[in-house]
Amino acid sequence: MKKKGIENSDKNIQARFVGVELYFKDLDAARSFYTGTLGLQVSDEQLGHHARFDSGAGFVCLERKGAEDYPSANKAVLFFEVRDLKTAIAAIDQEKFVRRERTWAVLHDPEGHNVLLLQASRAKSATGPPAGRTR
């Protein structure tokens, strides 16, 4: 008997995470947040449609809500690792954070998506909050 969520493990798909896309009503405000607040650099853009930011581990794509005919649900949490969490919080403005812990902190982008900053660890084993704690 197979456990729920493991049904496809025997198919050897070997999927690898490459990126995430979020929908926004106000794409300009979203772009400003991700460039201005988080310091991400735009790598690809189609004005009025999307803005993409690449990083070493994957990409974040911001897309105007309704730009495609197969939208997903609205719940999303983005995780970004930072070298020094305290410095990042101070640089962004601690009042913008909805929750702060020793190794992670959460703020919201312009449309309410959770953006979670993780303190980088030397062993690359930084973990976020327990499941369900970022709402």
Long-range contacts from 124-133, C-beta under 8 angstroms, 24+ separation: 126/81, 127/103, 128/79, 128/104, 129/99, 129/101, 129/104
Domain extent listing, the chain: 16-67, 74-135
Tell me the pLDDT tens digit for each residue of 6-30: 454 456 546 576 788 888 999 999 9
- 16-67 carries CATH number 3.10.180.10: yes
- Number of helices (H) and strands (E), helices first, in the chain? 2, 8
Bridge partners of 105?
Answer: 100, 117
How far apart CA 38 and CA 101 sit, in angstroms, is: 19
Question: How distant, in Å, are the alpha carbons of 77, 81, 98 from that of 57?
Answer: 16, 11, 26
Tell me the pLDDT tens digit for each residue of 54-105: 877 788 888 888 876 766 656 678 888 898 999 999 999 999 999 999 999 9
Pick one of 1.10.3470, 2.20.28, 1.10.8, 3.30.720 as the CATH number of 74-135. Answer: 3.30.720
pLDDT of residue 101: 93
